[in-house]
């Protein structure tokens, strides 16, 4: 096919090179999503707290993170974390910390919109029942905000999964790196890139299709 | 740790200072982003428009396939595809410079996102506008050219602003195929000088400055093309 030869690929090569990378990409995506949503929610609460001492640092953090290319953030953390904790860490650990910190800024904007989508009356109703601010957030506002924003959070997770390929900048062993290495060793780099594209496409396309279905389902319930 | 900003005045080994190298790299970043922006807006407007042509299901399918294809593959992988795979599969592309291949990659990747915005903008317009244009005797092409697209583009200016800033940030990915842009400079200068913090700080500042400039240019355009009383701020394109 157009000067390409895919016959070099065997199950052996896939299990040896690709699966480990795929596992790291998935692990990085899941940890960064959970960590990002957790810290993102905290940042969103800080920005909506009305207290300047909390709002200002959170706003600076979120807008700062969002105005730098992810590759630069990855390089920053890879440079600074060993410097701050005094010992070298691997590219994989550095990537995990970076993605949690970076995605928290993006998830925080989603959660902020979600919290603001809850009618004020519900907060007042909670207060009238004698709930504290914490109880109100935990029991009334956040569960609904999370539910309303679920499709957007999942869409961001798909983007996150694609962005994990950027750990290429610090040489972490992810899905793309697995294919790249296999391609280099067997002298078929072009075919390896093409296969990587197919794998990413199938995974992301399937996930976004599922999100679309979920969105339709939620829309009917509401 | 102490600062050493003098590092930018050092010779990089080829007779120019690191500062001159960095300014040069900034130029490459802006060139990649600017050229890709043109590709992205042209293809995005075309594909977004095609997706709203309800009488031509095959054109809708074609544009949908375009959006799904370029949206579901990571940008870095797309850059590799254009840079390594396309020239191998199509000998025609072997003479094309790497800069142009990266512009295709970044431009088409972004065009998928802009196409979605254009489609949303067109669909946010009251149907009456299209009918009024057709009733005036416009052909479909004329209706889009003179009525629908000018209005749709005004509506989508805010998300288009964000996407243009994203494009500028995404241009950093060009480092992976040795385009001499800012991130490439940052990585190499960090290696050569061991003054990573100073180098990264300067490069980060240039990225932020560039993104801010894009933001201001769009704010100016938004103000200039505003039609009084037509588009209420925040009242259109909800949810996109």
Which range among A102-116, A183-197, B35-49 shows the weakest confidence by mean pLDDT? A183-197
Q: Model ipTM?
A: 0.90
pLDDT of residue B216: 95
Determine contact: A168 vs chain B, CB below 8 A. Answer: yes
List the alpha helices (DSSP H) in chain B: 18-50, 57-71, 75-80, 86-89, 98-124, 127-135, 140-142, 149-155, 157-170, 182-193, 196-225
Cα–Cα distance measured from residue B82 to residue B71, given in angstroms and rounded to the nearest whole number = 15
Q: How far is B49 from chain A (nearest CA, A)?
A: 22
pLDDT in tens for each of the 240 residues of chain B? Answer: 678 888 888 877 788 888 999 999 999 999 999 999 999 999 999 999 999 998 899 999 999 999 999 999 999 999 999 999 999 888 889 999 999 999 999 999 999 999 999 999 999 998 888 999 999 999 999 999 999 999 999 999 999 999 999 999 999 999 999 889 999 999 999 988 888 899 999 999 999 999 999 999 999 999 999 887 765 444 444 443
Contact B68, B58 (CB under 8 A): no
The pair of three-digit structure tokens given for residue B232, joined into one six-digit string:
């209420």
Q: How far is A116 from chain B (nearest CA, A)?
A: 14
Q: Do B84 and A166 touch (CB under 8 A)?
A: no
Contact A192, A182 (CB under 8 A): yes
Q: Which pairs count as long-range contacts for A27-30, CB under 8 Å and 24+ apart, including other chains? A: A28/A95, A28/A96, A28/A99, A28/A164, A28/A167, A28/A174, A29/A157, A29/A160, A29/A161, A29/A164
pLDDT of residue B52: 94
pLDDT of residue A16: 79
The pair of three-digit structure tokens given for residue B93, joined into one six-digit string:
């592309």
> What is the value of pTM for the model shown?
0.91
Q: Do B72 and A208 touch (CB under 8 A)?
A: yes
A89's torsion region: left (phi>0), alpha (psi -120 to 50) or beta? Answer: beta
pLDDT of residue B231: 57
pLDDT of residue A94: 94
pLDDT of residue A222: 56
Which range among A2-11, A78-87, A90-99, A137-146 shows the weakest confidence by mean pLDDT? A2-11
pLDDT of residue B235: 46
Up-side HSE of residue B89: CA atoms within 13 Å toward CB?
15
Residues contacting B59, CB < 8 A, separation 6+:
B50, B53
The pair of three-digit structure tokens given for residue B212, joined into one six-digit string:
């801010």
Determine contact: B197 vs chain A, CB below 8 A. Answer: yes
pLDDT of residue B105: 96
Q: Do B88 and A3 touch (CB under 8 A)?
A: yes
């Amino acid at each position: 096919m157009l000067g390409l030869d895919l016959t070099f690929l065997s199950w052996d090569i896939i299990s040896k090179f690709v699966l480990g990378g795929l596992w790291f990409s998935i692990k990085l995506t899941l940890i960064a999503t959970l960590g990002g949503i957790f810290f993102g929610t905290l940042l969103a609460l800080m920005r909506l707290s009305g207290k300047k001492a909390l709002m200002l640092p959170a706003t600076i953090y979120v807008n700062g993170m969002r105005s730098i290319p992810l590759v630069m953030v990855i390089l920053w953390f890879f440079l600074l974390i060993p410097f701050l904790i005094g010992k070298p860490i691997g590219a994989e650990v550095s990537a995990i910390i970076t993605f949690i910190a970076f995605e928290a800024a993006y998830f925080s904007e989603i959660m902020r919109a979600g919290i603001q989508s809850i009618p004020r009356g519900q907060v007042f109703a909670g207060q009238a029942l004698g709930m504290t601010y914490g109880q109100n957030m935990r029991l009334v506002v956040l569960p609904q905000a999370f539910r309303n924003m679920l499709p957007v959070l999942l869409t961001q997770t798909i983007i996150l999964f694609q962005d994990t390929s950027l750990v290429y900048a610090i040489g972490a062993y992810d899905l793309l790196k697995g294919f790249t290495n296999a391609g280099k060793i067997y002298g078929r780099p072009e075919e390896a890139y093409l296969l990587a594209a197919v794998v990413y496409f199938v995974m992301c396309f399937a996930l976004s299709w599922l999100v679309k279905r979920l969105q339709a389902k939620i829309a009917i319930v509401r | 740790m102490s600062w050493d900003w003098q590092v930018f005045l050092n010779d990089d080994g080829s007779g120019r200072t690191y500062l001159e190298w960095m300014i040069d790299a900034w130029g490459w970043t802006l060139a990649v982003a600017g050229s890709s922006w043109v590709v992205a807006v042209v293809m995005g407007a075309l594909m977004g428009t095609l997706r709203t042509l309800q009488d031509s299901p095959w054109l809708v399918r074609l544009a949908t396939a375009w959006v799904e294809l370029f949206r579901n593959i990571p940008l870095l992988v797309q850059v590799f595809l254009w840079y390594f795979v396309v020239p191998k599969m199509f000998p025609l592309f072997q003479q094309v410079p790497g800069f142009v291949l990266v512009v295709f990659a970044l431009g088409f990747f972004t065009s998928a996102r802009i196409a979605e915005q254009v489609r949303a903008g067109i669909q946010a317009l009251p149907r009456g506008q299209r009918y009024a244009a057709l009733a005036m005797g416009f052909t479909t092409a004329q209706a889009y050219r003179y009525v629908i697209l000018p209005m749709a583009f005004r509506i989508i200016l805010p998300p288009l602003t964000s996407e243009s800033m994203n494009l500028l940030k995404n241009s950093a990915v060009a480092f992976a195929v040795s385009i001499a842009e800012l991130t490439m400079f940052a990585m190499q200068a960090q290696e050569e000088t061991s003054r990573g913090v100073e180098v990264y700080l300067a490069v980060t500042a240039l990225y932020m400055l560039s993104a801010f400039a894009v933001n201001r240019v769009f704010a100016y355009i938004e103000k200039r093309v505003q039609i009084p009383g037509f588009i209420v701020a925040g009242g259109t394109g909800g949810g996109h």
